[in-house]
Structure 1
Amino acid sequence: MFLGQYFHSLDQKGRLTIPAKYRELLGNEVVITKGFDMNLLVMPGEVFESWANQINDQNYADPNARLLRRYLFSNGEQVEVDRTGRILIPQYLREKANLNSEIVIVGVGNFFEIWSKENWEKHKAVLDEAETDVARFIDFPLTTNRSRA
């Protein structure tokens, strides 16, 4: 599971060194795509494939399904982790997420996000607001009891 926050930097070619803990989880097949919050999503190929299958199962006649399909797939790239643990973030994706040299890597479960430091600080302020409390998440089915079938 991808957990935690890491402050890193991109080199001049747009390469990012993946934290060692994350490299093991990523494997060789990695997909990077535009996120929903002015960020990028990076995930193992099998996680992206699961998303792709769910999206492809949606009714193509539904305009929102088509929009989501175009959003994620047209902004997605398969990338390789090089022998030193880096990935190359394509220029157009760096621009979409406003990435410069200082970035933040944020674990979010079965994938991680890449944020510009500036955008992450803004988003983190929302997370830290007093209004962001348990009541906000009351409708989510969160439990520590997993039924075993």
Structure 2
Amino acid sequence: MRFRGHAHRSLDDKGRLILPPEFRDTIHSELPDGVMVLTIYDKHVIGITPKQWDVLINELESIRVPSRSMQNTIRLLNLGYTVTPVGKQGRIAIPAHLRKSGKLEKDVVVMGAGRRFEIWSAEAFEALLEEDNDVSSELAENNVSLPF
């Protein structure tokens, strides 16, 4: 399952959001029950499949002596955990604790991030676009050549 692209959306008064049609279609074509896991990561709400969640938690629990930062990351992932059905129109409910953690108010941006989707506040998304991220050295070190 791959998520790409982005869409500007608005949360309704109950914290519900309509996913982009491509995301909805991807979820419903690959997950018969249309259920996703939402949690907080890197100060943003993320959506992953239940299977991805299980793999992630098993891998995190296998870390022999997690640092304090890793323990806190595991805590944040677990305290944010919620299962949400994706409705036929692509509507999901974002619980209050995730809206608060992700600083999500009315205007948000839903973006594909490969195997997950992310929900950012519109302000955080605009700040992301303004960042100067020079990754040319890292790409070269990993033998990744851009086709453009």
Amino acid at match of 2:134: T
Structure 1: state its 5+ residue gaps.
Answer: 145-149
> Stretches of 4+ moved more than 4 A in 1?
none
What CA RMSD, in Å, does the superposition of the two structures yield over aligned residues? 2.1
CA distance in 1, matches of 2:60, 2:105: 31
TM-score (norm 1): 0.82
Are residues 141 and 29 of structure 1, via their aligned partners in 2, closer, same or farther at CA, if it must alter by over 3 Å?
A: farther
The aligned residue for residue 104 of structure 1 is 109
CA distance in 1, matches of 2:138, 2:26: 31
The aligned residue for residue 16 of structure 2 is 15
**Preserved CA contact (<8 Å) 2:108 2:120:** yes
The aligned residue for residue 117 of structure 1 is 122
**Preserved CA contact (<8 Å) 1:60 1:66:** no
Are residues 8 and 18 of structure 1, via their aligned partners in 2, closer, same or farther at CA, if it must alter by over 3 Å?
A: same
**Preserved CA contact (<8 Å) 1:30 1:42:** yes
Structure 2: state its 5+ residue gaps.
Answer: none
TM-score (norm 2): 0.83
**Preserved CA contact (<8 Å) 1:9 1:102:** yes
CA distance in 1, matches of 2:104, 2:74: 24
Would you say 1:134 and 2:136 are equivalent positions?
Answer: yes
- Identity across aligned pairs (percent)? 25
Are residues 118 and 77 of structure 1, via their aligned partners in 2, closer, same or farther at CA, if it must alter by over 3 Å?
A: same
Task: Indicate the larger mover: 4-13 or 62-71.
Answer: 62-71
**Preserved CA contact (<8 Å) 1:25 1:44:** no
Q: 1:58 aligns with which of 46, 60, 63?
A: 63
CA distance in 2, matches of 1:140, 1:68: 26
